[in-house]
Amino acid sequence: MAQSKRHALVFGASGVSGWAIVKELLKYPTGDTFNLVTGLTNRPLSLSDSSLPADPRLQLASAIDLTSSVDSVVAALKQKVKSVETVTHVFFTAYIEKPDFQSLKAVNVDLCKTAISAIDQISPNIQAVILQTGGKGYGVEFTDKLSIAPPLKESAPRIPKPYYDNIFYYGQHDILKDMSSTRSWTFSEVIPDVIIGFTPGTNFMNCAQGLGLWLSLVREIEDQGAKVPFPGTDKSWLCKHTDSSQDILARSEIHIALHRDTCMNASQFNSADGAVVTWSDKWPGICKYFGLQGTLPGSEPYSIEAWVKSNQQAWQALAQKHNLRQGIFENFSWPFLYFVMTAFDFDRHYDLSALRSTGFTESLDTVGGYTTAFDRMSAAKIIP
C-alpha cells in the first residue's frame, strides 16, 4: 500500500523552535516521512545562511506578513509556496515581541488566527495543527502574586483574572479549538519550558545563544581556565526546572502531529528533555565547553548585560579575528538571561506523563542540549 503524501508547513522557521522542526522533519521519524517541508520566515533567509541541510524536499519562503489580512496571506502563500494546497501538517511557532502584556496578546493571538485561517482556506488536506506555547500559561510570570505547584501538569486550571487576561496562549488555544470543531483536522498544544537551541540569526528568547556569546567573550578576555561564578542567586542556583532542548522538542511535536489517534483534539502536552535539573547541575558543564570553570554564585547576583556592554570593543576584535557574523551579538536580548538565571528562582519543573502516554519516550542530557547548540553556533560562525 502506497504511503500517504505529507507536506509540512512551519510558521516561524527561523526561530529556535521552528528551525529545529524544519530540520527534524527532513529525517524524523524516517528520512521519507514527509514528501515536502516548507519553512516560512518573516525576514528573508537563504538556504545557505540557514544552516539547514540541502534537501530537494525543502523550501523556504519569506516576507509573508502574518499581521496583514487573511486574504493577503492567502495570496502570498499561493504565490510563494510550491504545492501549498497539499499541506497536511502545520506547525505554528511564529511570535512577535511587544513591550506590554496587552499589545503582546493582541498581536500574537491575531497572528495565529490569521496564519491558520489562511492555510485552512488553501489546503483541503490538513490533518493536524501543532500550536507551540510555553510556561507562561502556568503563571510563571506572576509567582509573586500566584502560587504554582510543580510538577506542572497540563490539567492545571488556567490562572485567575486579572493575570489570566495577560496570557496570549489562552487566546491562541481557544481560537484553534473553535476552528477545529468544524474542520476535519485536529490540533494539539505543546508546552516547553525554557528552550535550548540554535538559530541562524538573533532570537529573542534563546538562552543558549546568549550564554554562547557571553562565555566566548569571557574566555577571550579572562583566558582558558578562568572561574565564572553563576550570575544568579543562591535560590535560583537550586531551583528545579525541565529545559526543553530544541531537537527533543521538535521530535515530540512531529510525533504528536503524526499520532492523532492517541492525541485527541485540543490536547495539551508538556515537552522537555526528561530529567529535572537545577543550574547547579548544568553550570559546570556549560562553562567547561568553553574551557572555563563554572562556580557557585557569589554573595550578590551580577549583570551579564552590563558586563557585555562594557566589553563591546573586545567582542568586535574577537569577531574580526575569527570572521564571525555581524549583528547577532549586538542585537541579542541580554535581559532574557537575567530572567531565566536570576528572576526565575522558583521550582517550575514539568510532569511529562501525558507526553509519555503517546508513546514518545525520547530523552536527552540537558547539558548535551547546550553543547549541541554551541557546536552549531560555532559552525555557523556566530561564536569562535
> In three state form, how does the secondary structure of the chain look?
CCCCCCEEEEECCCCHHHHHHHHHHCCCCCCCCCCEEEEEECCCCCHHHHCCCCCCCEEEEECCCCCCCHHHHHHHHHHHCCCHHHCCEEEECCCCCCCCHHHHHHHHHHHHHHHHHHHHHHCCCCCEEEEECCHHHHCHHHCCCCCCCCCECCCCCCCCCCHHHHCHHHHHHHHHHHHHCCCCCEEEEEEECCEECCCCCCCCCCHHHHHHHHHHHHHHHHCCCCEEECCCCHHHHCCCECCEEHHHHHHHHHHHHHCCCCCCCCEEEEECCCCCECHHHHHHHHHHHCCCEEECCCCCCCCHHHHHHHCHHHHHHHHHHHCCCCCHHHHCCCHHHHHHHHHCCCCCCECCHHHHHCCCCCCCCHHHHHHHHHHHHHHCCCCC
- What is residue 4's predicted lDDT score, i.e. its pLDDT? 79
Taking residues 142-160, report their average pLDDT: 96
Given pLDDT bands bounded at 50, 70 and 90, which one contains residue 203?
A: confident
Residue pair 186/131 in contact by the 8 Å Cβ criterion? no
Which tens digit of pLDDT belongs to each residue from 295-313?
Answer: 999 999 999 999 999 999 9
Cis, peptide link before residue 29, omega less than 30° from 0: yes
pTM, two decimal places: 0.97
Taking residues 13-28, report their average pLDDT: 97
Given pLDDT bands bounded at 50, 70 and 90, which one contains residue 205?
A: confident
Which tens digit of pLDDT belongs to each residue from 349-381?
Answer: 999 999 999 999 999 999 999 999 999 999 999
- What is residue 2's predicted lDDT score, i.e. its pLDDT? 42
- What is residue 286's predicted lDDT score, i.e. its pLDDT? 98
Given pLDDT bands bounded at 50, 70 and 90, which one contains residue 33?
A: very high
Between residues 1 and 20, the one the model is more confident about: 20
Which tens digit of pLDDT belongs to each residue from 110-150?
Answer: 999 999 999 999 999 999 999 999 999 999 999 999 999 99
- What average pLDDT does the structure give for the chain? 96
- Taking the C-alpha atoms of residue 248 and residue 20, their distance in angstroms, rounded to an integer, is 9
- pLDDT reading at 238 higher than 70: yes
- Show the cell assigned to 282: 548544568
Cis, peptide link before residue 162, omega less than 30° from 0: yes
- What is residue 3's predicted lDDT score, i.e. its pLDDT? 58
